[in-house]
Chain A
């Protein structure tokens, strides 16, 4: 490495330890580029090491992380420095692991997901922040309903039926999902309802707000009888209500579709 030609002083007096390379950028390539830019390279990190550069994971990398002494940075950061010809400031996206000092510094600037407290975000940055979140929990439907109401997003075209719990009369025997009648337009209506924000249930219970009926009216009597036993009354509407609400992008008044 003593024979390289220096092309820049960006890394003057900065000591790196390159642990692994990535893809077409080998460890040796990264090391020689660092040297060209005036930096120095060591094989094991020491007290003077600025950071550890990692392209791909391996056991040594894991040990370095476990030691909690060094900042472990993605090789992409280095490549960005080479590309922009400057010392690119560290951002959460580049950090594989942070030493306690760096962590404290970042905690003042960024939340634990890497989103800045002060700088505006944009679609790409937010996507990046979201992509690094490991929590794969799904938000329950009723929390989404609350959230959309709170931020007034419930007028969105995809939320026509938001907040409605709907039973679709597509079972030959009421409340028997095993008796589902296949190939009818009602099963399409059920999917449309879900797509536009409704919660479609297979059991007719107190929480239901609407029952959707198709061409076949043979179970209406039974459904009406069931309704008499409920405290909270649901509306029984013809499937046209779903169709026309979707076509017009707003929930239509149910009164013209009642059965």
Chain B
């Protein structure tokens, strides 16, 4: 079961804050549950797969595309803020609550879906659950963060270790090359000295032959 918790502001009262939890199995398109709370009261409702299909058909929209829209509206949070509107209307006794979500368009809006939520008899339990969910999420994110940080440190230290080793290899290669060239030159120059010497002897022999 997957869940998201977002803060939403109804279009009619933008200063009010509601908490919207959406929960689903595997994919939003197979139906989802909603919990809405203003911090005091809580309402709950369900949207089945059949209803999602029907909504999509009513709007003459491809179901996949419709589900994409739902995701953006209900679970994307910050990224799609302002692009979607939420309307919440409660009756006097707070027993029921109409919740609808719509896509904001340049000229007006486009209703994606609406449902009637039922009041929860024990809102404190629901709110506890929401806070519990937040804390669990926080805990797991912290653990993940720590793990990634450690991983990062390890990668960095591995990197600098390899870099140092590579530098040693490069130094060794440079030194070996310079050393071999030096030895090579010494031996090569010995040969050239010999050739010079032989040339000198040859010239001397030629001169003495010419003299004779």
The answer to whether B173 and A195 have CB atoms under 8 Å apart is yes
Mask, A121-153, CB within 8 Å of B = 1, is 000001001100101111111011001000000
- Categorize the interface residue count of chain A: 20 to 34
Known contacts A188-B166, A191-B170; is A183 also within 8 Å of B156 by CB? yes
Chain A residues with CB below 8 A from B159, complex form: 183
The answer to whether A115 and B190 have CB atoms under 8 Å apart is yes
Is B48 part of the binding interface, using a Cβ–Cβ cutoff of 8 Å? no
In the complex formed, the residue of A with least CB distance to B181 is A139
Q: Which residues of B152-171 are within 8 A (CB) of A?
A: 156, 159-160, 163, 166-167, 169-170
The answer to whether B190 and A112 have CB atoms under 8 Å apart is yes
Chain B residues with CB below 8 A from A207, complex form: none
The answer to whether A139 and B182 have CB atoms under 8 Å apart is yes
The answer to whether A113 and B190 have CB atoms under 8 Å apart is yes
Q: How far is the CB of A115 from chain B (nearest CB, A)?
A: 5
The answer to whether A147 and B190 have CB atoms under 8 Å apart is no
Complex CA gap A195/B170 in Å reads 5
Is A182 part of the binding interface, using a Cβ–Cβ cutoff of 8 Å? yes
Chain B residues with CB below 8 A from A113, complex form: 186-187, 190
Known contacts A111-B194, A183-B156; is A191 also within 8 Å of B163 by CB? yes
Is A29 part of the binding interface, using a Cβ–Cβ cutoff of 8 Å? no
Out of A111, A139, A147, A194, name the residue touching B170 (CB < 8 Å).
A194
Is A25 part of the binding interface, using a Cβ–Cβ cutoff of 8 Å? no
Complex CA gap A141/B179 in Å reads 11
Complex CA gap A183/B157 in Å reads 9
Chain B residues with CB below 8 A from A188, complex form: 163, 166
What is the count of residue pairs linking A and B with beta-carbon distances less than 8 angstroms?
60
Q: Which residues of B180-203 are within 8 A (CB) of A?
A: 180-183, 185-187, 190-191, 193-194
In the complex formed, the residue of B with least CB distance to A132 is B183
Is A117 part of the binding interface, using a Cβ–Cβ cutoff of 8 Å? yes
The answer to whether A111 and B174 have CB atoms under 8 Å apart is no
Is B177 part of the binding interface, using a Cβ–Cβ cutoff of 8 Å? yes
Q: How far is the CB of B172 from chain A (nearest CB, A)?
A: 10
Is A187 part of the binding interface, using a Cβ–Cβ cutoff of 8 Å? yes
The answer to whether A138 and B163 have CB atoms under 8 Å apart is no
Q: Which residues of A146-186 are within 8 A (CB) of B?
A: 147, 182-183
Chain B residues with CB below 8 A from A129, complex form: 187
Is B178 part of the binding interface, using a Cβ–Cβ cutoff of 8 Å? yes
Complex CA gap A113/B178 in Å reads 18
Q: Which B residues form the contact surface with A (CB < 8 A)?
A: 156, 159-160, 163, 166-167, 169-170, 173-175, 177-183, 185-187, 190-191, 193-194
Nearest 3 interchain pairs by C-beta: A111-B190, A138-B178, A139-B181
A-B contact pairs, 6 of them (CB 8 A): A111-B190, A115-B190, A129-B187, A130-B187, A140-B178, A147-B185
Q: Which A residues form the contact surface with B (CB < 8 A)?
A: 111-113, 115, 117, 126, 129-130, 133, 135-141, 143-144, 147, 182-183, 187-188, 191, 194-195
